[in-house]
Chain A
Amino acid sequence: MNRKEIIEIVNKFLIEDIEVEQEALVEEAFLKEDLGIDSLDFVDIVVVVEQNFGFKIKPEEMSRVKTLSQFYDYIEGKLNAS
Chain B
Amino acid sequence: MKRVVITGLGVYSCIGQDKEEVRNGLYRGTCGIGTDPLRTAYGYRSPLTGMVPRPDLKGALNRRQRTCLPEEGEYAFVATEEAFKDAGIDMDYLEKNETGILYGNDSSSKAVIESHEICVEKKDTTLMGSGAIFQSMNSTVSMNLSTIFKLRGINMTISAACASGSHTIGLATMFIRLGLQDLIVCGGAQETSYLSMASFDGLSAFSTRADDPKRSSRPFDKNRDGLVPSGGAATLILEEYEHALKRGAHIYAEVAGYGFSSNGAHISQPSDEGSALAMIRALKDARMDAGAIDYINAHATSTVIGDTYEAIAIDRIFGAHRTPVSSTKGMTGHECWMAGASEIVYTLLMMRDSFIAPNINLEEPDDNSKKLNIIAKTLDRELNICLSNSFGFGGTNSALILKKL
Q: Which chain A residues have a beta carbon within 8 Å of chain B's beta carbons?
A: 17-19, 38, 40-41, 43-44, 46-47, 50, 56, 59
Contact = CB atoms under 8 A, between A and B. Distances in A.
B126 A56 contact: yes
A56 B64 contact: no
Given A40-B64, A46-B127, A47-B129, 4 more contacts: A18-B63, A40-B130, A41-B64, A56-B124
Interface string B61-85: 0111001000000000000000000
B64 A43 contact: no
Contacts of B122: 50
Contacts of B126: 43, 46-47, 56, 59
A50 B118 CA distance: 12
Interface residues of B, number: 11
Tell me which of B67, B122, B126 has the highest count of chain A C-beta atoms within 10 A of its own C-beta: B126
Given A18-B63, A19-B62, A19-B63, A44 B124 contact: no
Contacts of A44: 67, 129-131
A64 B180 CA distance: 48
B63 A43 contact: no
A32 B127 CA distance: 21
28 contacts: A17-B63, A18-B63, A19-B62, A19-B63, A38-B64, A40-B64, A40-B67, A40-B130, A41-B64, A41-B130, A43-B126, A43-B129, A43-B130, A44-B67, A44-B129, A44-B130, A44-B131, A46-B126, A46-B127, A47-B126, A47-B127, A47-B129, A50-B122, A50-B127, A56-B124, A56-B126, A56-B127, A59-B126
Interface in B41-65: 62-64
Contacts of A50: 122, 127
Nearest to A16: B63
B383 to A, nearest CB: 47
B117 to A, nearest CB: 14
B111 to A, nearest CB: 14
Interface string B112-133: 0000000000101011011100
| B62, B122, B129, B130: most-surrounded residue (chain A CB, <10 A) | B130
- Closest A-B pairs by Cβ, 3 of them: A43-B130, A40-B130, A19-B63
B279 to A, nearest CB: 46
Contacts of B67: 40, 44
Nearest to B129: A47
Contacts of A38: 64
A18 B62 CA distance: 10
Most central of A41, A47, A56 by chain B CB within 10 Å:
A47
Contacts of A19: 62-63
Contacts of A17: 63
A39 to B, nearest CB: 8
Nearest to B125: A43
A59 B125 CA distance: 13
